[in-house]
Structure formats: structure tokens, C-alpha cells
Structure 1
Amino acid sequence: MTVSEAAELTRRFSREALVKGIGEEGVRRLRSSRVAVIGCGALGSTEAELLARSGVGFIRVVDRDVVDYTNLHRTHMVGEADAEQGTPKATACRDGVINIDRSIKVEAIIDDVDSDNVEDIVRDVDIILDGTDNMETRFLINEAAVKHDKPWVYAGVNSWYGTVMFIEPGRGACLRCLMPEGFEGRQASCDVIPAIGTVTTMVGSIAANLAVRYLAGDRPEPGVLYSIDAREGSIEKIRVERNPQCPVCVMGRYDMLARRPALGLLTRVCGSEAFKLRLTADAPSPEELSSRLASRFSWLISRPNYVKVITKEGVTVTVLGRRVVVIEGAANEDEARKAYNEVAEAAGMPVLVDAAPRP
């Protein structure tokens, strides 16, 4: 850091430097820190925005989804234009962070988080923040964090209630200690989770606060579960003991990391009416897709990281990056498959037959 950069940092974060537990040294530590925010919806966008405003120097944001109107009441740094265009949440989050502070290095990854990529996502960061909406991904993050000795902050919201826990491998309980049955023992659900923006912002703020404390050198106590009742305005702290028989943080067993992701399968996106597909091979680049599809579809949006078209039946098909496809507006899986195949055939991508890929 040059003398002029240090002076600008001191000026910009002069109020933050006055805070006990941060100080000028904490400000410098924050600026040199690297963070991964997995999920860029209500929780993740709150966390990313607060980390950016706190001066974190590198933020990696990861999400496979696109912005729609149902996100606007609770998701930070997005607006109606993003919903109209179906902007990838990771892209919108990246642009929002850059708008706050152009000197922050932001990496946006438009992809599913699975056993193929989660270790690469967390390997070179100082802390991971949970902005996801499903327990399967959270258990996967927990295993990757423990394996690579990375602290992370678990966060979840349902209606007026939320939970947050700072997890530091080797110093306290991990997520599997909190939920010994693991993902396999939990009943899967794709119900729409009720949420209000005030609650997701409150929970995301507590999560980001724990991360800021850790990065500034004021390490929070690990294994403390914050149970938030936003309707009553109460927060209860519950001590979670490390399980001496924990298969993850004690025995070093990583069952979720060992599972291979489902590729080429059309599935419903939990909590929405959309369908998603993880391609078995990289799709053509967005520029190539745009040129191939322009003559076939009259309604097309093309951006550097995605292409979105509407079929003649009114179904929207969005290709995000090179590996993820989101289909919206289909009444059922058959309609979603038909819409995807219409786009795939025109684009030279694998088509689907009975939910299985055909080269």
C-alpha cells in the first residue's frame, strides 16, 4: 500500500478507526482481507454491502440465480431494472459493491455451489459468509471450511426469526455439531420460505458484524448461536458445545464433499416456480449464444455473463455463465424441458430427453 493509499484509507474510515476493537490497525486488516459470500439474495446482499462499507478489500460473491420482482422487498443493491432484465444476482451484487467502493476487488461467480467447486471458492479467503437458502449447501460449506481450516458464519431466516453462528474450526462447534443428523437426516423441503426485508437485514447485519470483528482482529467467541426473534425484538445467545463424536470437525469425514453433483438433470428451484439445469459441459460463450439465437428468438437480452430469451410459448430461458440454465414461466417439468430443448437445439447445446442429457 502506497503512502497516498494509506492516507486515503485513514480518511475514508476515520470513524471506523475510532471504534474499540477495530482502530487503525483493524481498518488496515479489513482492507487486506479476502471474503467469500456464498449466495447473493437477501442475506448475501446484506452481508456483501456491509463488508464493502466496512472496507474489506476483496469480496467473492457466488450465486446461480437471477433477480426477479419477488426479491426486491428484501435484497440489497438491486432494483426494478435488474428484475426486468433478469440480471444474475452475483453480477448485481458485484456492481453494487463496486458502486460503493471502486477500489474493492470483486469477483462474481455465476454458478451452483457444489462439491466440484466449493473448495476452490473457499481455499484462498479469510472467512466465508452464508447467504444461502438451503441446508444442503450449508453442510457442504461447513465441510469445506473445516477441511481447509476456514472460519465461516452460518445464517438463516424464516419469517420473523433468524439464526446466526460464528464457526471457527478447531476452536468450537461446527454446523454438524449443531445439527448432528446432518443433511441426510433432515426432511427436504421446497416450500417458499416466508421472509421480510427487515428481518433478513437484521440477520445479515449480525453475520457481517461477526465477520468484521474477526477480520479486524477482535475474534468472536465461536460456537455461540444467536437466536433472533425480530417480531419481539429479542436476541438470545445459546452456547453450542462441540460434539466429541462429530463426523466432520472431530473425525474429519467429508461425506458432502465426496458426493458428485447431479449434472444434466432438470430440477425445480426450491422456493420458486422456476426450474434449473446444470450442464454436463460448458455452453458456448454468451457472445456465441447471442449470435446463434438472435435469428430464432425475437425477444433476447445478451450481457457479458448471460443470455436470456423468451420462447414462443412465453417461457423464459436464461443461460448463466457457461454451466447453469434457469427456466421460468413453465407450468411443469415437461414444459420446462421443451423450452430448454428449443433453445438448446438452436444454440448447439445438449438437449434433454426424460431429464437426461443427450449429446
Structure 2
Amino acid sequence: MEFTSRYSRQIRFAPIGKHGQELLSQKKVVIVGMGALGTVLANHMVRAGVGYVRIIDRDFVEESNLQRQMLYDEEDARQHLPKAMAAVAKLQAINSSVRMEGIIADVHAGNAESLLSDADVILDGSDNFQIRYIINDVAVKHGIPWVYGGAVSSRGMFAVIRPQITPCFRCIFPHAPVGRGETCDTVGVIGPLVHVIASYQATEAIKLLVGATAQLNTHLEQIDLWQNDCDFLPIAEGKNPTCPACGKKEFEYLNLHGKESEEFVTLCGRDTVQISPTQPRSVDFSTLSKRLSVLGLVEQNRFLLRFHVDNCTLVFFEDGRVLVQGTHDITTARTLYAKYVGH
């Protein structure tokens, strides 16, 4: 591949060089979550010339995202565009030579392997431990390196996970935190922190993609920008031989298939309940709009349909997912879903 002046400054950086740039152009990166971290990660991967970038997100753009989610603008929020689609539109204008795929979906046990297992590197832009344990199971099972990242308030952390070489995520975090914990929706987050953590993640990803494994960070690094504090937790020797994931190869997070036809999950701090079908299904927006428009206000674009009723908003996606906004109570969400959608 012949490179133009687009990557000249990156090629002049000796640890990458022309050979490294050629390697980047042949690689595939999957980014899970296109919120604050994900938008920075995607921006770096596309600008760096990674050959194929797949971005996955279950949500749509809202005004409150604009303070820190760098790829979106006010028009995206007005149109309630899915983040994956809005991000791809921006990224294609940034670098049309990169192949991009935007997927509107929630990563779960039923689809994780099909979405993640063909990646050279997986990047974590998610906001909860459940998805990270799923990412970890796929990564360990298929031998794919991934880069964990988290950011809330003024504090963030990141780590590089290399299956069979480093401890896996479950070695480092054997159990998910009890309760909801702090989230950006409950205690806030400052924009600069997001860029710092995601830029560290992106740098580690580029090292992995060009084969610079000797330079990889071997710590769980924690940063507090407001308090000017940085801690390094050594994890290289923390591999657990009895770890369910990398030790026993049990991959229990890939086997969490619900027995009911739908799964109900409260989105932390969002006053929203997500309802996901356990089996694939598709939604005909035209038919749904006709049925619901006699019951309440319906707004629609080509990616989702919003139905306003009973002081709540039901947001329908083509894959059958529904967000019930205006409540964090699963019983209330179940009632509204049964009333207006059925089973």
C-alpha cells in the first residue's frame, strides 16, 4: 500500500515507521460502546489509519452527551440518531480510506462472539462490568488482546489484557462491584479525563497492532486529574490459575442465556430500563407507528421510533430492543411493555 502525506508524521515516528503503518492498514479493531471513551478511541483509530473499524453501541445521542462525547453535535441530538450511525458519518468524513461498520446493538452473551471474535484488538468504551466480563470471555476464548478503560468524575483507569500472557480481566476483578457504584450520570465526569484515558487506551492499541509488545504498559494505571494523582498497580504477576475464564476456560458470561423471551436491565443513573429480546427479532417501524400513533405521540427516524405515553418514552430499535425512559423500576417497565408491545 502506498501512503500519502496523510500519515507522514506518524510514519516519521520511528517505532511505527512505514512498516508499522502498513500493519495498521491490515488490522481490524472493534470498539464496544460509543460514549465518551468510545468516541475518542474511534477518532484515534480512524485518524491513525487502522484498516477496518467496527463500532458497536446500543444508545442514541442526547444533549447531555455533547459535553464529553466528541463526535456528536446538536443536530445528532435533535434527530435522536443512534450513536453508532452518527459516529460513522463523522468518521467517514475524517478518513474515507478506512472501512467502517456501525452496529446498533447491545453486546450480550448471544451476540458477543459474532461481533467481537474477528478483531485483532478489542477496545472497551463501555460503561459497565457485565459487558466487560463478556468482552473478557470472548477475548480469552479466541486469544484476542483487549484494552480496558473506565472514567468517572475526575478518576480513570486502563489496562492491557493479553490472553495467556497477562492476567485476564477476571483475574484482576474477580467480582463485579456490589450495587450501582458511581457513574457519569450520578457523580458526573470532566471531559479532559475522557480524552486522557482513551488516549492511553488508543496508544496501547496501536502498540499491539504494530507488534510493539515490549513497550506495552504492564500496570493497571489509575489517574485522578483533579487531584493530580497517578497510581500504578502492578498486575503482570497477578494471573490466577483457578480463574473461571483464563484458568478453567468456563466462559460463564457467554452462557447467560435467559429463559424468558425478554431480559430487563436498569441502565445505571439513566432513569431507563432496557428490554432486550433473548432471541433475534425485527421490528417493522411502519406497522408499529400506525398502531401506536392512536395512543400517543410517535417520533421516528430510519433507525428508531420514539413513543411518548404515560409520562414515559418507549424507544424501539430495529433489532427488537426497547428503552423505557422515565423510570428505573423494572416492574413499571414490564407493565408498560406488556401494555403497549405485548410479548
Common fold: TM-score over 0.5: yes
Q: 1:307 aligns with which of 305, 308, 312?
A: 305
The one-letter amino acid paired with 1:269 is L
Q: Report what 1:282 is aligned to.
A: 281
Matched, 1:269 2:267: yes
Q: Secondary structure at the match of 2:262?
A: coil
Q: 2:252 aligns with which of 255, 265, 268?
A: 255
Matched, 1:213 2:207: yes
The one-letter amino acid paired with 1:271 is G
Deviates more, 1:264-273 or 1:57-66: 264-273
Deviates more, 1:52-61 or 1:190-199: 190-199
Q: 1:158 aligns with which of 152, 171, 191?
A: 152
1:203 offset after TM fit, Å? 0.6
Aligned-pair identity in percent equals 31
Q: Report what 1:53 is aligned to.
A: 47
Please tell me whether the aligned partners of residues 290 and 302 of structure 1 are also in contact (alpha carbons under 8 angstroms).
Answer: no
Provide the C-alpha distance between the structure 1 equivalents of 2:221 and 2:285, rounded to a whole number of angstroms.
43
1:326 offset after TM fit, Å? 1.1
Provide the C-alpha distance between the structure 1 equivalents of 2:276 and 2:70, rounded to a whole number of angstroms.
27
Matched, 1:124 2:121: no
Task: Note the aligned Cα RMSD (angstroms).
Answer: 2.3
Which structure 1 segments of 5+ residues have no match?
A: 1-5, 345-350, 352-357
Q: 1:169 to 1:175 in 2, by over 3 A?
A: same
Q: Report what 2:72 is aligned to.
A: 78
The one-letter amino acid paired with 1:259 is L
The one-letter amino acid paired with 1:67 is V
Provide the C-alpha distance between the structure 1 equivalents of 2:116 and 2:152, rounded to a whole number of angstroms.
26
Q: Secondary structure at the match of 2:254?
A: helix
The one-letter amino acid paired with 2:267 is V
Q: 1:142 aligns with which of 136, 139, 144?
A: 136
Q: Secondary structure at the match of 1:25?
A: helix
Please tell me whether the aligned partners of residues 155 and 207 of structure 1 are also in contact (alpha carbons under 8 angstroms).
Answer: yes
Which structure 2 segments of 5+ residues have no match?
A: none
Q: What are the within-5 Å matches in structure 2 for residues 1-359 of structure 1?
A: 6-7=1-2, 9-180=3-174, 182-183=175-176, 186-189=177-180, 192-193=183-184, 194-219=188-213, 220-221=215-216, 223-240=218-235, 241=237, 242-261=239-258, 263-280=261-278, 281-290=280-289, 293=292, 297-303=296-302, 305-311=303-309, 313-330=310-327, 332-333=329-330, 336-337=333-334, 339-341=336-338, 343-344=340-341, 351=342, 358=343
TM-score by length of structure 2 reads 0.89
Q: 1:251 to 1:100 in 2, by over 3 A?
A: same
1:323 offset after TM fit, Å? 2.3
TM-score by length of structure 1 reads 0.85
Provide the C-alpha distance between the structure 1 equivalents of 2:161 and 2:17, rounded to a whole number of angstroms.
24
Deviations 1:145-164 (A, max 9, x none): 00000000011112111110
Deviates more, 1:64-73 or 1:160-169: 64-73
Q: How many residues of Structure 1 are paired with residues of Structure 2 in the alignment?
A: 335
Provide the C-alpha distance between the structure 2 equivalents of 1:125 and 1:289, rounded to a whole number of angstroms.
36
